[in-house]
């Protein structure tokens, strides 16, 4: 299950994705209000996303945030990994944070591991295959 922090990050990034290309940076207060994210959480989330290279921040009176790449080049999977870490539900199937499980005797024959590997692969396929542009377009279609 996604944490509230990930849902906040996705909402903020989707709001930024809807800004026209070349528009001025959007102030944090506006992002917080429009994406319905508490400002104190948003500040930390945007810092993480900026450090990961998804956002540019600008200081000063006309400061704020904007995407560092076009929305079609940022996937939901990338955002979630920055906020949550690996997508795998168990560490023995993680591609980026592998750890052996103490529960199974043989990873090669563990039915739970094989099932969780399929879950990881399908989750990654869907999330990595859905860009911010796709998500905002789907939101508009659903509305």
Question: In this structure, what are the phi and psi dihedrals at residue 122, rounded to the nearest 5 degrees?
Answer: -70, -40
The answer to whether the CB of 92 falls within 8 A of the CB of 100 is: yes
Question: Which of 51, 67, 83 corresponds to the end of one domain?
Answer: 67
The CATH code of the domain that includes 60 is: 1.10.10.10
pLDDT beyond 90 at 93: no
Residue 76 shares a structural domain with residue 136: yes
- Please count the structural domains in the chain: 2
Q: 133 CB contacts (<8 Å, ≥6 apart)?
A: 17, 70, 71, 72
Please report which confidence band the pLDDT of residue 139 belongs to, taking 50, 70 and 90 as the band edges. Answer: low
Residue 50 shares a structural domain with residue 95: no
Please report which confidence band the pLDDT of residue 112 belongs to, taking 50, 70 and 90 as the band edges. Answer: confident
The whole-number pLDDT of residue 142 equals: 57
């Amino acid at each position: 299950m996604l944490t509230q922090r990930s849902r906040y990050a996705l909402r903020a990034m989707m709001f930024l994705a809807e800004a026209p290309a070349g528009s001025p940076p959007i102030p944090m207060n506006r992002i917080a209000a429009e994406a319905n994210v508490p400002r104190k959480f948003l500040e930390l989330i945007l810092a993480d996303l900026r450090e990961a290279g998804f956002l540019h921040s600008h200081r000063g009176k006309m400061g704020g945030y904007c995407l560092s790449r076009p929305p079609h080049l940022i996937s939901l999977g990338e955002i979630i990994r920055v906020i949550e870490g690996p997508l795998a539900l168990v560490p023995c199937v993680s591609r980026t944070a592998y750890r052996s499980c103490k529960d199974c005797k043989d990873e090669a024959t563990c039915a739970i591991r094989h099932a969780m590997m399929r879950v990881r692969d399908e989750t990654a396929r869907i999330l990595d295959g859905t860009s911010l542009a796709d998500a905002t377009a789907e939101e508009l279609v659903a509305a």
